Structure 1
């Protein structure tokens, strides 16, 4: 479900931004009034804190969902408005529209990757897994896939159920898919031009209505060699694809086993903690509850 807007392109200025790889912004400040023609000084600002990241995500939603200006704001106007609100809530350190925009793109990229891990875990539909279990598995999968921990879980929880965020991500995915189709079309055209010479020769001659001339032994041999080379390359490519698929399946199997092991260890820790709990100081009703719970564990493991 998403909010209604009068213009579907209201987020287009944001969709055209490239995602930066740095967490800091660069600002240009003059060194002094006497050196007006001197080169501007580049200053590196300190990294963003968790509080700043959370506030940035909240303000992004706030501005995109504003029914008064939401459908008419440009890219620059959008980030100027976010910056005004941001500096009211967090005046220090000073952050510019360019810096906040850059940080947002960094957060968006990381959250997108984590969302993909969450969806992959959900598609496995593991029996008995709670939402907390799935989130833990997704964090583990992200860490294994990207070789680093996911550090923006609070931002993810703010955005994940917001209609405007999901609409924004859908637009990004559609744009990426369109670009991918264009690249595939180009690749297909190149592949068509690399068909075996014998097929091209046969098609050309039949289209002009000319009688095919008898081939000499040398020409026939060359054509056969070219055809063999093309077929060998195709077979090699197919073999590599099969091997890559096998390796991916092994990786997924290994990840599944690792997550199952984590879940089993967590369950054992919970059960051990429960069984060793001292409830002698509790009231009679609470003691009865723990006693029934312990009996249930005993029945589960076949202990009478």
Structure 2
């Protein structure tokens, strides 16, 4: 059917659907970001636009994406922001799952619990496990202290990990400050210092009061137990039908006198 120029001008354009990112594309993007941000020569001297242009070029040149339509730089930047945010949140969920791990649970059990915690915290399923497995051992995503080495509360929100995996390299080559774990010798010295620290007169008095109170309670328990034993012995002697021996008669009389006194 023939369409006039005026009709063609008013023909609505078909809107293209949003292309979903495949795990392969995500892995290439992660590799591009890591390699570009850690470039020993220019990694810390790049401005925002140049930084993301290099990542886009690295991404487009990957042989793993042969035949895949090229992504725009803005789309790549937006996808990285989503990956970074999701991985940082899941780092917190995984740490919380590790704290709740029991002796009979394996890695798969911990991972299931981490997904459950993520879903409960953010009301959404975590779909970037492949990205988390690729980034979890990188310095920017493992800067949170190990769960088993700290006594912090079981669950932390993402504020704890808000600094991890920033979208651009740090300026002037300065890496993020990471707390060094205390050494064995330092830990022992600290514990020894804490134990050997002299207590004040008030603290000594409180400790003595607590000890005396515990001693009185223990003393009363012992007296009560002794009375119960004596009562049982007296009941046994009184209920005996056969004539009592001299020793039993003397013991019975003593128990009766103690009971009446």
Q: TM-score, normalised by structure 1?
A: 0.39
Tell me which structure has the larger Cα radius of gyration: 2
